Chain A
Amino acid sequence: MKILKDSFIQRRKFLKGLMAGAAVALAPLTDSEASKFSFEEYFQKHFMEMTKEEKEKVLKRLADEYKQTYGKEFTVKATEAIPDVSFGYALNLSKCIGCRKCVTACVKENNLSRRPQIQYIRVLRLPKGSMDLEKSEHYYEADLVPEPNYYYMPVQCQQCRKAPCVKVCPIKATWHEKDGLVVIDYNWCIGCKYCMSACPYFGRRFNRGVTQIPKDEINTNVHYLGNRPRPRNVVEKCTFCIQRSREGKYPACVEACPVGARKFGNLLDPNSEIRQIIDKMRVFRLKEDLNNDGRFFYFFHN
């Protein structure tokens, strides 16, 4: 990422005054009742261009903001990628029973808005014998799952190596991290939704409303690029629980699955579960013909 030249920084300081006027005028349109307009936040640089000290300052400011808004102590981290790690994910379609426990766990872990409802994982119910997504049912309800003659395929962000969303973002607000995760700087995104149009997997969401989370369900262990309470009107997405996976833990969906259909690990470690699956099982990727080179593998075992 190119570092800004000093002359640009000078010009930016000069124009700050002008823009501040415009920004203050537009401020009522951009913030929820809960947070106030903050100059540091408005003029914040792109996360990748910040120095370590600037990042620390931002994290501290966010922790204070969240404490004020939600009344709880937050731990806001910006943990970097563990070296020599390239994440991979596998999902056993023979096992998935379509219970949607992964969806619920993700919503709780990642502080997703309940109203309007945002869910990163979408479980599709498909009739046996077909992979035609047009035949899928997103809104199935049943007394008991699995229902006969159907199988279930949960879809979420595939963290593609050649992600179309990264390609099209006009301001580089979304990018690939070293461990393979595709992340968004929520304070840089302008909400143009080009990435949402480009994503073939319904991996990204837009939160227009004021995020409403029940106070007792808030997860206070957050990552800047992941599950922190996000500004409104920007695009957000699954990050394989970056706040957990970068500490060595499984993403919430992996742990929540009651049938053990979800497996996660480091593709560069030959002893990891994910490598064993790719070696021993017949894995495939969704929409592989689009050449996105995703990290999310599906397999059947019977």
Chain B
Amino acid sequence: MKKILLLITIMIMLSSWAHATKEKLFPVPYPPFSNKDIFPCMNCHEGLDRNKKVRQLKEMHQDIKIEHHGDRWCYDCHDERNMDRLRLANGEQVKFQESYRLCGQCHGNVYEQWKIGIHGKRTGYWNGEKQYLLCVHCHDPHTPRFKSMKPDPAPIRPDAHKVKNKKH
């Protein structure tokens, strides 16, 4: 009896270990939190109620606007059981350093491309080690659309010294 229990325990441990390592870990820099004191979240959220109502936040996180398609609300991605983790669709908790797994659930195509290096900025060596970035390093998860920026100046026109006011 003891032997069978031991065998079953070992099998459960092995399968959960296998399950846990099904997704490869990608080496990424530290997640870009808005300020260094905001993490760990449980420092504040430990004793707070989890209010799932969609509303205008008044006391904290008022600066967060959610512009992510569909009717998104905080707990769609953040895990209410442990605010220091994110929540996959099946309830599994993932660390912020693995947030790509969460994004990849809806954005599967992009996720596959990111994994092989086609999507997203990478630095490093073309024949060696490369750095990955988290999705959130470029896309704010609350308003993910890539921000427009001011372009660097245009090349100087060949007739610049002559034509000051004329438009092309």
Do A144 and B150 touch (CB < 8 A)? yes
A180 to B116, CA, bound (A): 24
Residues of A close to B30: CB separation below 8 A: none
Question: Known: A138-B154, A248-B127, A273-B116. Contact between A144 and B148, CB under 8 A?
Answer: yes
Residues of A within 8 A of B138 (CB): 258-260
> Given A144-B148, A146-B148, are A117 and B156 also a contact pair (CB < 8 Å)?
yes
User: Which A residues are in CB contact (< 8 Å) with B44?
Assistant: none
B151: interface (CB < 8 Å): yes
Q: How far is the CB of B128 from chain A (nearest CB, A)?
A: 5
Alpha-carbon separation in the docked complex, A280 to B112 (Å): 11
- Residue of A104, A281, A301 most packed against chain B (CB within 10 A): A301
Contact between chains at A145 and B148 (CB < 8 Å): yes
Q: Inside 8 A of A142's CB, which chain B residues have their CB?
A: 150-151
A274 (CB) vs chain B CBs: closest residue: B126
- B120-136 CB mask vs A (1 if < 8 Å, else 0) is 11111111100000000
Within 8 A of A (CB), among B31-54: none
Of A117, A139, A259, which contacts B168 at CB under 8 A? A139
Report the minimum CB–CB distance from A253 to chain B (whole Å).
Answer: 12
Complex Cα distance, B128 from A297, in Å, reads 22
Residues of A within 8 A of B119 (CB): 260
CA distance A217 to B123 in the complex (A): 21
Residues of A within 8 A of B154 (CB): 100, 138-141
Q: A139-B157, A273-B116, A276-B118 are in contact. Are A145 and B124 (CB under 8 A)?
A: no
Interface residues of A (CB under 8 A from B): 82, 85, 97-101, 103-104, 117, 119, 122, 137-146, 245, 248-250, 255, 257-260, 263-266, 269, 272-273, 276-277, 280-281, 301
Contacts of A245 in B (CB 8 A): 126
Q: With A137-B168, A145-B148 given, can you name 15 additional A-B contacts, CB distance below 8 Å?
A: A97-B149, A98-B151, A101-B152, A104-B152, A117-B156, A141-B151, A141-B153, A141-B154, A145-B149, A145-B151, A146-B148, A248-B126, A258-B149, A259-B146, A276-B116
Instruction: Report the separation of the CA atoms of residues A104 and B154 in the bound assembly, to the nearest whole angstrom.
Output: 10
- Check A263 against B117 for contact (C-beta < 8 Å): yes
Give the Cβ gap from B50 to chain A, nearest Cβ, in Å: 36
Residue from the list B125, B150, B152, B153 in contact with A248, Cβ < 8 A: B125
B155 at the A interface (CB under 8 A): yes
**Nearest CB on B from A177, distance (A):** 16
**Bound Cα distance A269, B155 (Å):** 36
Complex-state Cα separation, A173 to B156, whole angstroms: 29
Measured CA separation A264–B117 after assembly (Å): 10
A204 CA / B97 CA spacing, docked (Å): 44
The answer to whether A263 and B118 touch across the interface, beta carbons within 8 angstroms, is: yes
Would A100 and B152 count as touching, CB distance under 8 A? yes
Contacts of A101 in B (CB 8 A): 152
Rounded to whole angstroms, the CA-CA distance of A269 and B124 in the bound complex is 17
Q: Assuming the A-B contacts A122-B155, A263-B117, A281-B118, are A249 and B125 also in contact, with contact meaning beta carbons closer than 8 angstroms in the complex?
A: yes
- The 8 A CB mask of B138-168 against A (1 = contact, 0 = none) is 1000000010111111111100000000001
Provide the bound-state CA to CA distance between A259 and B119, in Å.
9
The answer to whether A250 touches B121, judged by C-beta atoms less than 8 angstroms apart, is no
Residues in chain A near residue B118, CB distance under 8 A: 263, 273, 276-277, 280-281
Residue of A nearest to B126 (CB): A265
B121–A258 touching, CB < 8 Å = yes
Q: How far is the CA of A140 from the CA of B154 in the complex (A)?
A: 6
B117 and A276 within 8 A (CB): yes
What are 18 A-B contacts with C-beta separation under 8 Å? A98-B151, A99-B151, A104-B152, A122-B155, A138-B155, A140-B151, A141-B153, A141-B154, A142-B151, A145-B151, A248-B128, A249-B125, A260-B119, A265-B126, A266-B126, A273-B117, A273-B118, A277-B118
Contacts of B146 in A (CB 8 A): 97, 259
B residues near A99, Cβ cutoff 8 Å: 149-152
Residue of B113, B121, B128, B151 ringed by the most chain A CB atoms within 10 A: B151
Q: Which residues of B contact A97 (CB under 8 A)?
A: 146, 148-149
Q: CB < 8 Å: which of A137, A141, A249, A280 contacts B126?
A: A249
Q: Which residue of A lies closest to B127 (CB)?
A: A248
Residue of B nearest to A99 (CB): B151
In whole angstroms, how far apart are the Cα atoms of A222 and B118 in the complex?
29
Set of chain A residues within 8 Å of B152, measured between Cβ atoms: 99-101, 103-104
